[in-house]
Amino acid sequence: DKVIKIWNTAGKCLQTLTGHENSILCIEKLNADTFISGSRDQQINVWRRQFSGAFRLATSIHNHSAGSS
C-alpha cells in the first residue's frame, strides 16, 4: 500500500496520508508530533503534526540507495 492511515482507538480512520509512490516498508515514531516513513520508492518522508492536529508531509529524502526499511 502507498498510503499511511491514522486511526483512533475506536477504530475510526482519522486521516489518510499520501506521499509515497511504492509500498511503505516502515514507520518510526520520533515523538508525539513527528514520525518518519520509508518506502520501496527509495524515499524517506518526515511527517509532522500541524496546529490543526492533522499530520502533513514536512520533507522528503529522495534517491536513497535502496528501499528504506
d(CA 49, CA 33) in angstroms, rounded, equals: 5
Amino acid (one-letter) located at 68: S
Q: In this predicted structure, what is the pLDDT of residue 51?
A: 95
Model confidence pLDDT, tens digit, residues 10-67: 999 999 999 999 999 999 999 999 999 999 999 999 999 999 999 999 999 987 665 5
Residue 69: is its pLDDT beyond 70? Answer: no
d(CA 62, CA 21) in angstroms, rounded, equals: 11
- Overall average pLDDT of the 3-11 stretch: 96
pTM of the model: 0.85
Amino acid (one-letter) located at 44: I
DSSP state of 9: T
Q: Which residue has the cell 522528503?
A: 60
Q: In this predicted structure, what is the pLDDT of residue 1?
A: 80
